[in-house]
Chain A
Amino acid sequence: VQPPEKPLQAEEWNKLREDFQLPEIFEEVMLNSMIRCNSPIDVAKSLLTHLAKRDGDIAYNVLVKYLTLCVQQGQVSEICDVYDIMKVRFKILESGAYNLLIKGLSNSDQWRMALTLLEEVKKIMIPSRTCYESCIKAASCHQEMKLAFELYKEMLAKDVVPTLDVLQSFFNFSRGMEGAELQKELFGILLYLRENQIYPHKTFMRSIKLWFESIPGGNWRGHLTSIKDSGQCPVCKHQLEDSNLTEEEYSNLSERIIRDVIHGTDTFRKTSPKEFEAFQTFVENRLPFDIVIDGLNVSHIKSRKMQCENLFDAVNCLAKENARLLVLGRKHMLMNSSNWKREIMKEMQNKADFFFAENISEDDAFLLYATLRSGKHCRFVTRDFLRDHKACLSDSLTRHLFRKWQRGHQIAFSSVFSQQPAFRYDCVVQTTGDTWHIPYKDVFEEKYSYEVPRKWLCIQQK
């Protein structure tokens, strides 16, 4: 339906309604299209007036739609009027209306009323993150940083995840402001990014940079750079944190992987206790390995070649410098077949240790175990992202540890057998007190979860 351009008289609305195929939902459809076309508010008003005259009442959903239109156009006085009508007519409102009201009011000089509304929402439910966002932005926009931070903390305490937008607004609105307290809070946000392995995007990064440089008497200078493979920052020559886990983290992670990934709810699902025990003794007798290879995964790198040749190439490529290799495979690889030639398998077994699991067992679990058991220096080779195993870990903290460990220890092979090295440094927001290093995404959204940004913001205090 095309909404009319000018307010209509009752008769005209009636006529339109009669021409519409489903008269019962005419008002709803009409208002929806008004919202879509961003029609002048007077047109909607004339429809409401027509409705009110006809029925003596206006349904809640129609009011909410009208409210949407008002919020869309920032008609503050109308928003207030609708709220007055709603709160008299209904005992409580539902989340949609509250979201709209808060969003609409927080952008105006009535923003304090949005805060009162937020309190009202809290009585009946956990406010949505858009509610918090609007209020926080309104507060920080009016330089009430203390209030904004209170709301932000409340939000985190309720497990409502803030968007990058909100975090960015803190930096934008604190620019040039003084105060040790404020500085501490903003550092807190950067640490929040660190803990949750969140990377800011380019514009957010710019806000951070500008804020640092605007701190009165802070003498902070920011530079955009990219970090070398060695992990040294080219600007300040500072060495970034290395990707190794601490002893405690490491033992914690291996424990959890054995518990959640290998055993899970039932050891029989991925392997069997007998097989796992056999594997454990096998590994213990030959420790430590330098590189653990997922044989089946590597054998599929080039589809035109025979699978065992692919594996053979990989083993040869990695076997330099006396590295101790472990190749994990399945029993069917030992059967002489067109893809797995016995002679080549024999030759490979001279260069590396092999463990063959049952055909129905999952070899990835063994891969993780053997690598972790060998120690921090040990790396593993597979193109698999291991997402399914990460998902088996029950809490996000351990999942983060897993990601960090994976980044530091996984070698991915591409088809030309050039290695993609594991990262030596940890790709995360980090500080030494007088320097900050912040990785950022170049484009606003485009990044896969397994990729890490290569661009960094280096901030140092002179």
Chain B
Amino acid sequence: MDLNPFEADNSVSCQLTSEIPEVCRTEDCCLGIDEAGRGPVLGPMVYGICFCPVSRKEDLKDLKVADSKTLTEAERENLFQKLDEAKSYVGWALQILSPNTISTSMLQRTKYNLNALSHDTAIGLVQYALDSGVQLKEVYVDTVGPAEKYEEKLSKRFPGIEVTVRPKADSLFPVVSAASICAKVARDRVVKGWNFAEDLGEVDSDYGSGYPNDPKTKAWLLKYLDPVFGYPQFVRFSWSTAQTLMDSKAVTVHWDDDEEDGEKAAQRQNNRSMLSYFGASAGGNEQNLTHQTHRFFTDRRLKSLDTL
């Protein structure tokens, strides 16, 4: 697995793929989708697909691929090696969603949540397989959000393919287990050798599992909090763990889509009190008395100063 394309720029999303086995272009194939790194506050989320001819499903079982969570790191590396050796009939593809992609998606003006991001990434990978000429007939997915809705969404998007969305699909279908191993191995490698884009000097790489409840991760987050910038791009800013720490320890930053309410906000936004529309004469006089700046200046947000 060559991670160079991602490590060249780890601020964006990146696709890594194996070669497409020739049999997959001619025979009916099944495909499994799984992800790794959904929960951690650190590092990327990796989506993986694995596909092979329906007729070779049993061969995958013989490789003893199993749910990646039940395996040790060494066992996973070992299994990935075996999958790579089986390239005559097994293909895979990965989408690495950088923590920066996750942060900017979830925190942008029109919010784009992790479920939607996951769904779209999965769809993108299935489309990649189709575009590469893989004869897809069956797709197996571990659920993200309500299973029925996800199944319906995928079935509509890919008519003619039998989509199965199941919780714990990674322990039910070997092809999903294989996908989960690819994803998990890629995530482990990326997190271990993370290239910090920021100039942080010698970075303490002892950040633990990256999950919010890991004490090591928490300590690391406290140590690397910059009062102005917050965190390096390695951290998912949209996670409440990171947000809470920034709220309490970093400088407050105001954005124009922050909501404020109450009289002060109304005053700041120059809203007139509802009452002013009723006292007709009073409202009129008031406007004449105060000097109104010409619209040339108000349009351009220019005002006179009385002090610096």
Q: Do A and B come from one complex?
A: no
